[in-house]
Structure 1
Amino acid sequence: MDKIANTPKPPYYAVIFTSFRTEGDNGYAETANRILEIARQQPGFLGYEGARQGIGISVSYWQSLEAIQAWKQHPEHKKVQEKEALWYGESRIRVCKVEREY
């Protein structure tokens, strides 16, 4: 990722994943790249931004709450969710409606 996501005119939704990583890679980098590519192919996916320096913040953008729910239930995504304790010491997900962008 090397630019700010090009999102449409609001409203749309943002899923914010905030985390602290555990020690070691444990397959994280490869899995993160693969799951992002799968997310990009999902109906309703609008874009992604992320940063990590100590704390990690990943934001994915979606057309609807239904698209977010479908992504949460995607079989590959569910497999990755089962490994979160291996990769994250602490994490939180927030779902927000974007009403304004400037």
Structure 2
Amino acid sequence: MSGIVRTPEPPYYAVIFSSQRTEGDHGYQVMASKMVELASKQKGFLGVEGVRDGELGITVSYWDSLESIKEWKEHVAHQVAQDKGKAEWYSAFSLRVCKVERQRFFEMVK
């Protein structure tokens, strides 16, 4: 995950996943990378942005429809990651699904 995702013209959807980590990696980084790779191959996926500062992380994934979000939520490999997250990786998390109705993008011309 690097840089700002260039999304299409709205409307589309954003899934905001905020999380607090437990101590230790316990395979988290490997699984997180696999999930980004797998999500990027899913129908309706538009991109992902994420940051982690110590224990707090925020990941925003962008999707073309609520149906695409539902299919990703129900993906077998993603369910395995969700279960491990609840059991081992997260002390707390929140998930918010938002409809993007307006956007602006700025990039300095070099």
Instruction: Report the TM-score range of the alignment, normalised by the length of the smaller protein.
Output: over 0.9
* Structure possessing the higher radius of gyration over alpha carbons: 2
Report whether the alignment pairs 1:35 with 2:35.
yes
| TM-score, length basis structure 2 | 0.90
Matched-pair identity in %:
55
Residue in 1 that maps onto 2:93: 91
Segments of 4+ in structure 1 off by > 6 A?
none
Report whether the alignment pairs 1:23 with 2:23.
yes
| TM-score, length basis structure 1 | 0.97
Report whether the alignment pairs 1:61 with 2:65.
no
Contiguous gaps of at least 5 residues in structure 1:
none
Contiguous gaps of at least 5 residues in structure 2:
105-110
Task: Tell me how large the CA RMSD over aligned residues is.
Answer: 0.7
Aligned length: 102
After alignment, is 27-36 or 46-55 more displaced? 46-55
Local SS of the residue matching 1:83? helix
Distance in 2, Cα, partners of 1:55 & 1:79: 21
Local SS of the residue matching 2:80? helix
Local SS of the residue matching 2:7? coil
